[in-house]
């Protein structure tokens, strides 16, 4: 790679990296706000919240990469063109392809990175996140009790606790159980905590009372210092983790197990997701081409390129929205998956055509006011 190519590449690389970090941080903040339910309502630790947030990052990065490439390229190219460095390249005999090739190579590298994230990193991360969310949803401590609320974790069982301390103890606990034979039992205790006895989950009640009304209407009342309430019926579940299309690897999307009813009914959804995994990295190349077209696709202007940048920004937004619409339409018709590739490739072709259609200006702007000659020369 020649010196001028390395220089142009360096001018683009740093803004792309900074824009990616900034936009990813914004997207991650939005994702973390929606995940606060894990701490507020599900009473999970900050470590679980952090793990779920980090596992969502691969998809967030893929979403913001094209935008980061577009914004960073506009900033860097606008500066290079305004300071006439690109004009100098043209004046030195460089072709348009030589000038834009560092940017296109960078976009190709970003697209390859996005493809690796789509094919390998995102499915692995989303599977781990789905497993973590499944464990949170089936956590007895979070599903059994909500502070200050009456909950019904299973039909026939009502649970209430005034509060939960930092050690996980349930304060002023109340349970009401209606059995299959028609009898009902009410438990009240000062404290309670979830534990395991002989491999089975139990609720240990401390300093409370038990009131049982049998099916014949006989009341039995007793007090206890410690009582063990069996929770095995709450943990007995045949529910399994279900992987969504975003959690599956490429071979699982293109070649689903048609013997399973869900995969047979959602075959088109899986196919659309698989093609989107391959096609979406192409938007990084398309957005780089659009940014190049906004700056280099027109003549040099000392007044800036605000209008052309605004137009290309609107075009880039429309292109990406059309891509999302096409992906949604592919869930109803398989042949439309071809359009998932046609949209970014067509945008790239149109942008490059606009660049190469413009004539190269092989001159340096000399319209700037020259410095005044020295006073000695004026007197002479």
Are residue 216 and residue 262 in the same domain, yes or no? no
Are residue 263 and residue 301 in the same domain, yes or no? yes
Residues 282-294 as b/e (b if ≥16 CB within 10 A, e otherwise) read: bbbbbbbbbbbbb
| Structural domain ending residue among the three candidates 199, 216, 235 | 235
50-75 residue pLDDT tens = 888 889 899 999 999 999 999 999 99
Query: Helices 306-329 and 282-296 meet at what angle, rounded to 10?
Result: 160
Tell me what the pLDDT averaged over the chain comes to: 84
Query: Helices 3-34 and 57-82 meet at what angle, rounded to 10?
Result: 140
Give residue 213's pLDDT: 84
Q: Indicate the number of domains in the chain.
A: 2
Structural domain for 307, as ranges: 3-137+242-357
| Stronger pLDDT, 28 or 224, i.e. the higher one | 224
Are residue 128 and residue 8 in the same domain, yes or no? yes
Are residue 211 and residue 294 in the same domain, yes or no? no
283-296 residue pLDDT tens = 999 999 999 999 88
Query: Residue 139 pLDDT > 70, yes or no?
Result: no
What's the pTM value of the predicted model, to 2 decimals? 0.77
184-210 residue pLDDT tens = 899 999 998 888 777 677 888 999 999
| Structural domain ending residue among the three candidates 235, 269, 297 | 235
Are residue 52 and residue 175 in the same domain, yes or no? no
Query: Residue 370 pLDDT > 60, yes or no?
Result: no
Are residue 166 and residue 120 in the same domain, yes or no? no
Are residue 268 and residue 123 in the same domain, yes or no? yes
Query: Helices 3-34 and 96-116 meet at what angle, rounded to 10?
Result: 40
Give residue 322's pLDDT: 97
Give residue 41's pLDDT: 61
């Amino acid at each position: 790679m020649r010196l001028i190519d390395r220089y142009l590449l360096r001018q683009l690389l740093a803004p792309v990296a900074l824009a990616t970090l900034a936009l990813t941080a914004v997207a991650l903040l939005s994702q973390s706000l929606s995940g606060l339910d894990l701490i507020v309502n599900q009473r999970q630790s900050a470590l679980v919240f952090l793990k779920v947030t980090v596992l969502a990052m691969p998809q967030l990065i893929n979403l913001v990469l094209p935008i980061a490439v577009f914004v960073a390229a506009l900033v860097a190219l606008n500066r290079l063109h305004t300071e006439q460095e690109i004009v100098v390249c043209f004046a030195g005999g460089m072709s348009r392809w030589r000038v834009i090739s560092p940017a296109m190579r960078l976009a190709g590298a970003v697209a390859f990175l996005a493809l690796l994230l789509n094919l390998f990193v995102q499915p692995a991360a989303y599977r781990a996140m789905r497993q973590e969310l499944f464990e949170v949803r089936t956590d007895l401590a979070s599903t059994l009790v909500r502070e200050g609320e009456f909950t019904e974790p299973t039909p026939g069982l009502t649970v209430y606790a005034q509060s939960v301390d930092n050690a996980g103890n349930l304060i002023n606990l109340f349970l009401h159980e209606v059995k299959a034979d028609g009898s009902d039992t009410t438990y009240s205790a000062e404290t309670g905590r979830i534990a395991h006895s002989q491999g089975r989950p139990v609720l240990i009640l401390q300093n409370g009372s038990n009131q049982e009304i049998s099916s014949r209407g006989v009341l039995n009342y007793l007090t206890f210092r410690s009582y063990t309430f069996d929770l095995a019926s709450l943990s007995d579940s045949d529910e399994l983790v279900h992987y969504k299309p975003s959690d599956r690897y490429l071979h699982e999307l293109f070649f689903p197990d048609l013997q399973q009813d869900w995969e047979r009914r959602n075959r088109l959804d899986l196919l659309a997701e698989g093609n989107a995994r391959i096609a979406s990295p192409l938007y990084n190349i398309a957005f780089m081409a659009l940014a190049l077209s906004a700056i280099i696709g027109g003549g040099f202007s000392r007044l800036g390129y605000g209008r052309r940048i605004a137009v290309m920004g609107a075009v880039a937004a429309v292109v990406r929205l059309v891509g999302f619409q096409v992906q949604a339409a592919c869930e109803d018709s398989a042949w439309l998956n071809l359009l998932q590739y046609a949209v970014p490739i067509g945008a790239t072709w149109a942008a490059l055509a606009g660049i190469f259609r413009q004539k190269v200006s092989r001159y340096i702007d000399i319209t700037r006011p020259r410095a005044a000659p020295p006073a000695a020369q004026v007197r002479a």
